[in-house]
């Protein structure tokens, strides 16, 4: 039996998620190859500088990035009515990375060229995916995922080909960036993360109830006062803006938008009024934990956080794919 979402339940759910996420945000900067004690913040020394200049902005970047990656996955799964989609599995992140790579290689003399190129490529890819998904009679859920995988392979192949025209030093930096890394974090990247995430977060939270209505056929949603086409298009725009900004600064970090919304639905139910804010804070928790694992696993060396999320996400993706396939057969 479906339970009614009361204001008390909504606020309780929200506060618990927010408290856990903010608590981990406060703890995360103290953990690393060199642990930092709280008392070190009250003196003058290198540990205080490391904390304020690197650890804290990195944790804030992970908090914002993880939450928005998860939120973008939840939004896309609702708008495309497909539980397997997120920016990475649709190929949006990889194609966006190709755009940023092209700009950094050939248009580095133009300010913010990487961001604008990444935005163009991500938006073009997302609307292409939308056009394919609209062909419901000839295009299945699995076809949509296969299209995303094909786009990812193509973008990766072009990037691999173009790496040979760059210097070995530049290629080394790009390799780390292409695996998805928070190693480049600073107060600047934390600020830009917030700027590029803000339209997605605001729009998703304002339209929480409208996303619930996308579960129904378009004509039923329209009768409930939801302009489906407008909601989908604006959703794609704000997701494209976020993906472009995140990929330009941190590279493609995959599967956060796939894993977290599925787990969140098990925790909070399928009402998007709890799924969307819950997914944001759970995504923050997930990426903060993944970043801690990336820093601690091979210390003093550091794994790219994208490697950690991929190791967790790829088996999860296969599980959902196979489980859904068996469910559809029955």
Q: Domain boundaries in the chain?
A: 50-329
Identify which of 159, 157, 141, 271 has the alpha carbon closest to the alpha carbon of residue 214. 271
pTM of the model: 0.89
Please report the sign of the dihedral spanned by the C-alpha atoms of residue 185, residue 186, residue 192, residue 193. Answer: positive
What distance in Å separates the CA atoms of residue 82 and residue 205, rounded to the nearest whole number? Answer: 20
Confirm if 252 and 180 have CB atoms less than 8 A apart. Answer: yes
Pick the range with the lowest mean pLDDT from 123-137, 201-215, 242-256: 123-137
The residue ranking higher by pLDDT, 43 or 315, is 315
CATH topology of domain 50-329: ABC transporter involved in vitamin B12 uptake, BtuC (1.10.3470)
Q: Are the CB atoms for 2 and 271 separated by under 8 Å?
A: no
pLDDT tens digits for 95-129? 998 888 888 777 777 777 888 888 888 888 888 87
Highest mean pLDDT among 42-51, 52-61, 76-85, 211-220: 52-61
| 15, burial (CB in 10 Å: exposed 0-12, middle 13-18, buried 19+) | exposed
Q: What is the pLDDT of residues 234-248, one digit of tens each?
A: 998 899 889 988 988
Task: Give the separation between CA 114 and CA 100, rounded to whole angstroms.
Answer: 4
Cβ-contact 228, 222 below 8 angstroms: yes
State how far the Cα of 209 lies from the Cα of 308, in Å rounded to an integer: 33
Residue 164 clears pLDDT 70, i.e. is over it: yes
Q: Nearest 5°: CA angle at 236, between 153 and 15?
A: 105
User: Is residue 75 a contact partner of residue 83, using CB atoms and an 8 Å limit?
Assistant: no
**d(Cα 56, Cα 275) in Å, to the nearest integer?**
28
């Amino acid at each position: 039996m479906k339970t009614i979402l009361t204001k008390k339940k909504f606020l309780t759910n929200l506060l618990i998620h927010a408290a856990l996420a903010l608590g981990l945000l406060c703890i995360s900067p103290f953990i690393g190859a060199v642990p930092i004690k709280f008392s070190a913040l009250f003196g003058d020394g290198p540990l205080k500088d490391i904390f304020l200049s690197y650890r804290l902005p990195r944790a804030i970047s992970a908090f914002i990035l993880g939450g928005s990656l998860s939120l973008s996955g939840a939004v896309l799964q609702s708008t495309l009515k497909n539980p397997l989609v997120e920016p990475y599995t649709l190929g949006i992140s990889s194609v966006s990375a190709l755009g940023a790579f092209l700009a950094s290689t050939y248009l580095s003399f133009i300010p913010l060229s990487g961001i604008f190129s990444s935005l163009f490529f991500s938006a073009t890819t997302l609307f292409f995916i939308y056009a394919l998904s609209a062909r419901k009679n000839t295009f299945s859920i699995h076809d949509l995922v296969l299209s995303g995988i094909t786009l990812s392979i193509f973008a990766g192949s072009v990037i691999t080909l173009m790496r040979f025209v760059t210097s070995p030093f530049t290629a080394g930096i790009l390799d780390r960036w292409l695996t998805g890394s928070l190693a480049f974090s600073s107060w600047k990247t934390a600020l830009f993360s917030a700027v590029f995430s803000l339209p997605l977060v605001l729009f998703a939270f304002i339209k929480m109830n409208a996303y619930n209505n996308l579960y129904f056929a378009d004509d039923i949603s329209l009768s409930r006062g939801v302009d489906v086409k407008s909601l989908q298009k604006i959703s794609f725009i704000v997701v494209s803006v976020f993906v472009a900004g995140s990929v330009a600064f941190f590279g493609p970090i995959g599967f956060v938008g796939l894993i977290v919304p599925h787990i969140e639905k098990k925790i909070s139910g399928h009402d998007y009024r709890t799924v969307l804010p819950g997914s944001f804070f759970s995504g923050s928790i997930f990426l903060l934990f993944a970043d801690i694992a990336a820093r601690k696993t091979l210390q003093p060396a550091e794994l790219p956080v994208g490697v950690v999320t991929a190791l967790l996400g790829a088996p999860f993706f296969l599980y959902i794919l196979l489980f859904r396939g068996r469910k559809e057969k029955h």
